[in-house]
Chains A and B, each alone.
Chain A
Amino acid sequence: MKTALFDIENWREIGATLSRNKTRTLLTAFGIFWGTAMLAMLLGGEKGLERKLMKNFEGFATNSAVFFANRRTVSYQGFNKGSGWSITFKDIDAIRQLDGVDAVATTNSVGSVTVSAGKHGTSAQVQGADHEYVRVFLPKMFSGRFINESDQVNARKVAVVGKNIADKVFPGRDPVGEFINIAGIYYKVIGVAGQEAEINVGGEKLDDQINIPISTLSRAFNLGDVVGGTMMTAKDGYTPTQLKPRIFRVLRANHPIAPHDDQALFFFDISEQFAMVDKLFSGVNLLALFVGIGTLIAGIIGVGNIMWVIVKERTQEIGIRRAIGAKPLDIVTQILSEGIALTFIAGMAGIIFAVCALAVVQQIAEVSFLIGFGQSISIMAIFMILGMGASIIPSLKAMKIKPIEAINDK
């Protein structure tokens, strides 16, 4: 006897039924196709967008803040409103001592200068960085190392060359150990660096810069003890905004700034931006889920609806089948199997369509928009189960059709 879902004869019968009613089959299939495609595209699109945005922050300590000296906005101790001031190495040393401060990377830069080695030369921005730079910016090292504390304390004439600069000045070779002429002074190359993050603080990306110890920069370019932009990271349990008053207290102790002149220090808390993006994506995620579930339900109701209509339309056929010997279970199996077969094929097509669409977006956006294999399988599984659930009511209705109806329904 045959009753099982796994009977080849059964599937042949279902295949025949579905293929002989093309319009009906196509309409039902389209609902499911669109539902799965929408859900897969929504989920993939949302993930891709998140990846795309997060790529901007790659290689970047997140619990961090940028600060630098602004002009005074309040006249104080003989310094007029609008006069400038500068953060110095002394301030930085004091800030490093503060509770809750993890690392302070301070930089200063001179504009574009000529750099060369042998026959090759170019112009590049030269930045002074200290040994804590690597703890905040997480540069990507192609070879060698970044500036360390010893380089900084001893003001060594060493340079970390950006990847793009290295390619121009030392074409086709690893420059570590060689010398590079920067504005007339020779520096030993200790590393080649680049960055993964899209954002950068102050000037060029690391790939297009040359970094030398900030102490060396100050001497070579006569910058005194003044530093430029500073970036700090907070220890776990602290936020940069919490630390801002402490940092300001240190700076006010060393510089004549009015007690209520909060504008004299530019302070930008990156962790707040992160939190915002994070919140934004929880929102987007929720929206995608909401819309996705909506689409899913609409698709499933569509399937159930069409199956219902199909059963009504086929009342006589089902009656005939019952009259010539189909058992109630045969009819339920048939209607359910048709629903499952349709859901499976159309759902597959929907996911394949979505993957293709996401692949095109991926080509343009240069970030992975693909949904995982497991995720697509679960979308399929959810659709199969719901598709089956939606077919149950119509199939039970079909089961109740009496064979007499085949005769009476003339």
Chain B
Amino acid sequence: MITLKDINKTYPGIVPLHVLRDINLHIDKGELVSIMGASGSGKSTLLNILGILDNYDSGEYWLDGVLIRNLSENRAAELRNRMIGFVFQSFNLISYKDAVENVALPLFYQGVGRKKRRMLAMEQLERVGLAERAHHLPGELSGGQKQRVALARALITNPSIILADEPTGALDSKTSKEVMQLFRDLNTDRNMTIIIVTHDPGVGEQTSRIIRISDGQITV
């Protein structure tokens, strides 16, 4: 599903920062992987590159058979929309849209009609167990509920991979477990490829493979 070959990334500046050094990585379809590392280790940069949010300087990144390199903004947006589902630490829901509208938003950028969007969004909300909260604004939802809405939004385009950036970082331990359970269910029931970036060892333990990164290099 994902193949990284000799990926290098340097942030230019007076003192150039070589954040990723010759990263080689292969993730198969249906894997539940965690990327762990201290802050400043380069794990966020790796996530940005995996999520087609940032470019890399050299190497090759293949996602589901597509070479991701030197893409135009438009092509990158399209690939993000169709192939990647994001889950963020701070949920990143749009505050003035209710749950169902938030979930439906990726389909808006695919040009799907309103009725169909809402129907598919409701399906996803049911799947994460939040159908009765469909018309609540994010401000009216608990942290765990917000993260489930975000997950429903990530799933609605039926992406190739789910990228989660500290998905439990803003949640208490109980809701953390619930959300992690949801990730695991997705992985086992739907064979979804999931990559979770975290610094929480408890989260890492619940994944099938842990990739450790430090000083821009994969150590395990």
Contact = CB atoms under 8 A, between A and B. Distances in A.
A17 interface: yes
Contact of B73 (A320, A328, A410): A328
Nearest to B117: A9
A407 B46 CA distance: 13
A20 B97 contact: yes
Interface residues of B, number: 34
Given A1-B111, A12-B114, A406-B92, A321 B105 contact: yes
A21 B105 CA distance: 18
A120 interface: no
Nearest to A404: B53
Given A9-B114, A12-B114, A403-B53, A325 B81 contact: yes
Q: At the interface, is chain A mostly helix, strand, loop or mixed?
A: helix
A317 B94 contact: yes
Nearest to A405: B53
A81 interface: no
A209 interface: no
B11 interface: no
Interface in B21-54: 44, 48, 51, 53-54
Given A2-B111, A321-B105, A410-B89, A326 B96 contact: no
Contact of B109 (A16, A316, A326, A410): A326
Contact of A316 (B53, B92, B113): B92
B74 A328 contact: yes
Nearest to A318: B94
Interface string A217-241: 0000000000000000000000000
Contacts of A326: 77, 109
Nearest to A323: B86
A322 B86 CA distance: 11
A404 B48 contact: yes
Interface in A296-321: 316-317, 319-321
A327 interface: yes
Given A16-B97, A20-B96, A317-B94, A407 B88 contact: yes
B150 to A, nearest CB: 10
Contact of A327 (B74, B89, B101): B74
A330 B44 CA distance: 27
A402 interface: yes
A13 B54 CA distance: 28
A235 B93 CA distance: 81
A406 B105 CA distance: 15
Interface centre among A316, A317, A325 (most CB of B within 10 A): A325
A275 interface: no
Given A13-B108, A404-B53, A407-B48, A327 B77 contact: yes
Nearest to A13: B108
Give 9 nearest A-B pairs by CB, closest first.
A325-B81, A20-B96, A325-B109, A2-B111, A327-B77, A324-B106, A320-B92, A327-B74, A404-B53
Interface of B: 44, 48, 51, 53-54, 73-74, 77-78, 80-82, 86, 88-90, 92-97, 101, 105-106, 108-111, 113-114, 153, 157, 165
